[in-house]
Chains A and B, each alone.
Chain A
Amino acid sequence: MFWKIPCPRNLLIVTVLATVVPILPLPSYVFHILIMLLFFSYLSTAWTIVSGYGKQISLGHSSFVGLGAYVPTLLLVYFGITPWFGAAAGIAVSLTVALLIGFPAFKFGLRGPHFSFATMALPAILESIFISARNVTGGSLGISIPYKESWVYFQFASKIPYYYIALLMWFLAANLAFSIERNWFGYYLMAIREDEDAAGAVGINVTRCKLIALLLSVALTAWGGVFYAQYNLYIDPATLFGLPLSFQIATTSTIGNPKRWIGPTIGALVLVPFSEILRILTGATFGSLSFLFYGALLMIVARFLPDGLLGLMTKRAK
């Protein structure tokens, strides 16, 4: 499974330009928005590898953000283990959980919506476990990460280092998605997306391909959870395990174009600023209003834009 990594030129240009942004005297709030933008682009790109390319639509990816956030945090709080090592544990736990769900689901042919429903159960289960294990996890109030500003503990006083880390995460994920798209693995996932039986008939091991895509996606997602916990320094079950996050990841990619590497980023460019604006205007009371907007946008995209907002942009360009 080794391939040459062909980096798209546009991605490289945008990334290089983005590295000089911190020179500008911008308020720290702007960096928060940029970090969230990169973070959601990253998460949705990870999601798109299994759910966009292979059309195995997961509505449970928040589980892996949650595990990626909680496992290193608990290891840090109780055993003083640095999140860099904790991250490995968080990813390992996430992969194990993904394997427990994914292997039987794919092996015994849970297809289409059936797979999606199965994945939806996971965050609901994990959320109640992390709420009820109050003595360890702090329950629904969540858990604060002790402040120890240092590279060793993946904590920084300013937002700039987080910005660079998020930029690197996004760059690597987008580049990985881009290479998969041009590689045999991407072609196999496309075949599975179009017709699983026909894919099997030309010799594609459908179960194995889906599983590899799922595990790749989950590993990236869990790392996203690690990053989120260290950036926010506070985590709670409802935010991280809750279904809204799962839906947000899926919606972002779907609105952009789940079949292309840049699609999720396009989706995040629209959704992240919008939900920020909405939050400023309406306050926390109407926080769920953004979901109304997501739903409306999803309907419009499903009805009129089969290739998402990206399709609209490329059509205009022609």
Chain B
Amino acid sequence: MALLDIQTVTKKFGGLSALRNVDLKLEKEEIVGLIGPNGSGKTTLINVIAGFYKPDTGKVFFDGHEITGLYPHEIAYRGIVRTFQLTRPFGNLSVLENVTIGALLKKRTVEEAEREALEILRSIELYEMRNSRSKDLTTGNRKRLELARALAVGPRILLLDEVLAGLTTSEAQSILSLLDKLRREHGVSFLIVEHIVRAIMTISDRIAVLDAGEKIAEGKPDSVAADETVRAIYLGKELV
């Protein structure tokens, strides 16, 4: 059984179907890239998995247990942690405090959580900024912080909503290699929503394409890139 199993999920906002009968599976230690044009339902799917929206129909299973309709904090506790597309740091708190709060879910004393947070900040190259107020960070560092805080929770699945957007190529590269390391060393699985198609193609094991709320293609990066409908959606842009 897949680690994460999304079954025929539909989510409507008024008359608009943001998601229509979407199926998606995520295996342990797998990286799945989720691409699609603006408004295709990528973030909605993340919101459904993480418990921020309740789907109208369909179910989500995690590790064999149904998690549809659970609260976000319950889902995070089970090990599915998300990041936000528009970063949402605890703005008036320091970088270290932000990550410590994430780590407190599994560690009950502030000292332990802080130690864990410092380790994560080192690995994500934010250590130097640990005492800065998080709302003063640059976009690149805010994205790093968003990722660091999610990592501190100790996730088995990370749902990353455009963590690479706004980063320079080398910044994006360092984050991608970090994700790869997390997968190899900690067995974390990833569902990555991204606009930078090139970056996601190289790291993903599998790609799923959403368009107007429907999954129109899924498969290995090469075969998805060669797909006629996918090419049509991206207006013939070179994908790889």
Contacts and interface: CB of A to CB of B under 8 A. Distances in A.
Nearest to B100: A187
A191 B105 CA distance: 12
A199 B89 CA distance: 10
B76 interface: yes
Given A194-B90, A195-B90, A198-B84, A184 B110 contact: yes
Nearest to B149: A202
B90 A206 contact: no
A206 B73 contact: yes
A15 interface: no
Nearest to B91: A194
Interface string B76-102: 110001101000111111000100111
B73 A204 contact: yes
Given A195-B90, A197-B52, A202-B153, A182 B110 contact: yes
B223 to A, nearest CB: 34
A88 interface: no
A112 interface: no
A99 interface: no
Contact of A201 (B50, B97, B104): B50
Interface residues of B, number: 30
A191 B73 CA distance: 13
* Of listed A183, A188, A191, A202, residue having the most chain B CB within 10 A: A202
B109 interface: yes
Contacts of B71: 200, 205
A252 B189 CA distance: 50
B237 interface: no
Contacts of B73: 199-201, 203-206
Contacts of B101: 187-188, 190-191, 199, 202, 204
A191 to B, nearest CB: 5
A195 B91 CA distance: 8
Interface in A156-206: 182-184, 187-188, 190-191, 194-195, 197-206
A184 B50 CA distance: 23
B84 A203 contact: no
Given A198-B84, A202-B150, A191 B76 contact: no
Contacts of B100: 187
A184 B104 contact: yes
Given A187-B97, A195-B91, A201 B110 contact: no
A200 B76 contact: yes
Nearest to A198: B88
A197 B149 CA distance: 14
A197 B88 contact: yes
B88 A184 contact: no
A302 to B, nearest CB: 15
Contact of B76 (A182, A183, A194, A202): A202
A190 B110 contact: no
Interface string B116-146: 0000000000000000000000000000000
Given A191-B93, A195-B91, A200-B73, 18 more contacts: A184-B108, A187-B97, A187-B110, A187-B113, A194-B92, A197-B72, A198-B84, A198-B89, A198-B90, A199-B73, A200-B71, A201-B72, A201-B84, A202-B105, A203-B102, A204-B105, A205-B71, A206-B73
